[in-house]
Amino acid sequence: MSDPLLEVEDLTIRYETDGGDLTAVSGASFSIDDGEFFGLAGESGSGKSTTAKAIIGGLDDNGRVDGGTIRYRGEEIQDFTEKQLNKQLRWKEISWIPQSSMNSLDPLQRVSEQAAEIGRVHTDLSNEAIREKLKEMFAVVGLQESRIDDYPHQFSGGMQQRAIIALALFLEPSLVIADEPTTALDVIMQDQIFKYLDRMKDDAETSLLLITHDISVIFESCDSVAIMHASQIAERGSTEAVHDNPRHPYAFMFKEAFPDIREPDRDLEVIDGYPPELIGEVTACSFADRCPWAVEECRESAPPLDPVGDDDATHAASCFRADEAYELYEKHGATDPAAPEQGDD
C-alpha cells in the first residue's frame, strides 16, 4: 500500500504564555489518504486550528511543535523552513482556507495580481492561463469573473472569503485545509463549494482536511473524522464507525449535542463545564472532569489512542472505558450506574 498523503503522528504542540507552556495539542495521530475527506471536530479551544497551522507551517510565533511528526507524501515536514514550505508545499500541494479570511488578502494588490504571483512561483502557466483559471474559480464561488482585477477593499467580507477560497483552489492543490470555511457563507454557497470539492475529489483525488465545531457538517461531507477535546484526540475513525459505534464519552456526547435528521425527535445532549486550559505536560484524560464515567485511572494518566477492535482498522479511542461507556450511556443516559449516589459516603 502507498503512503498516506498526510500522516500526523503523536503530535504535540505548545504555546509559550505568561502562565507557562500551554499544551494545545497532545499526542495527536491521524492520517489522510489521496481523495479522502477528513473532518476535525471539537469545541472551541480543542486544538483544531493549531493542528492545521502546524501542517501548513503557520503556527503563531510563540507556538512550537514539541514532539511527534507530520509527514506529507512520506516526507517529514514539521521542521520545514519558510522557504521549503513556500517552494514545495503551499498553494500547489497544500492550500489553506483560514478561519478568518478577512485579513488574508494583500490589501495593496488586486486579486488577479495575487493569483499571478502564486501561479508564477508554483506553475509554468502563462499569465493568461492563470487569469482564466482564476475566472473559473470566481464563477464557482459566485463572484463575477470581471471582478478578478478588484482590490480586496472593493469586496464585502463574505466576498473576500469567497475570493480567498478561489485563490486556495485555483491551482488544484492535492490537499485543501479548510478551517471553518463556510461560517461566513450562506447555505447555498456552502453547498456549491462542497459540490465543487466533491468534483475535485472525483476528478483529481483531492483530499480535504475540514475543521469545524459542527460535527453534522462532517457526518454529511467527510469519509473520516477525528474528535478533539482539550488537546487530545478523543476518537478517530471512518465517519460511519464513529457515527454508528462511538466509544469515547466526549465523542458520543458531542455527537448527540447536534441535531441529526435521522433522529428528529431526539433531545440534544448538553455537556457540562468547559474544556480545561492545559499548562505543561498533559498527564490525565482532558475530559475526566466533565465525564460522568471517569474513574481514578482517568486522572492518573492520559489514555492512549488505542484501536477499538471493530471492522474499521483506523477506528481508535482514547478512553479507559471505551468498551463499556457507550452501552452505559444508551442504557442510563449521562450518568454512571456504578458511581455512588449523591449524598452517599
Residues near ligand ATP (CB under 6 A) are 15, 17, 22, 24, 42, 44-50, 60, 62-63, 99, 213, 277
Shortest distance in whole angstroms from residue 236 CB to ligand ATP? 15
Shorter beta-carbon distance to ligand ATP: residue 51 or 206: 51
CB 61, min distance to ligand ATP, A: 8
Closer Cβ to ligand ATP, 62 or 154, answer by number: 62
Shortest distance, position 189 Cβ to ligand ATP, whole Å: 21
Are 227 and 41 in contact by the 8 Å Cβ rule? The answer is: yes
Cβ distance to ligand ATP smaller for residue 179 or 256: 179
Of 50 and 112, nearer to ligand ATP (C-beta) is 50
Q: Residue 279 or 339: which CB sits closer to ligand ATP?
A: 279
The 3 state secondary structure assigned to the chain is CCCCCEEEEEEEEEEEECCEEEEEEEEEEEEECCCCEEEEECCCCCCHHHHHHHHHCCCCCCEEEEEEEEEECCEECCCCCHHHHHHHHECCCEEEECCCCCCCCCCCCCHHHHHHHHHHHHCCCCHHHHHHHHHHHHHHCCCCHHHHHCCHHHCCHHHHHHHHHHHHHCCCCCEEEEECCCCCCCHHHHHHHHHHHHHHHHHHCCEEEEEECCHHHHHHHCCEEEEEECCEEEEEEEHHHHHHCCCCHHHHHHHHCCCCCCCCCCCCCCCCCCCCCCECCCCCCCCHHHCCCCCHHHHHCCCCCEECCCCCCCCEECCCCCCCHHHHHHHHCCCCCCCCCCCCC
CB of 265 to ligand ATP, least distance (A): 29
Nearer to ligand ATP, 99 or 114 (CB): 99
In the complex, minimum distance from the CB of residue 149 to ligand ATP, in angstroms, rounded to a whole number: 33
Q: Taking the complex as a whole, how short is the minimal distance between the CB of residue 295 and ligand ATP, in angstroms?
A: 26
Return the number of the residue (60 or 149) whose C-beta is nearest ligand ATP: 60
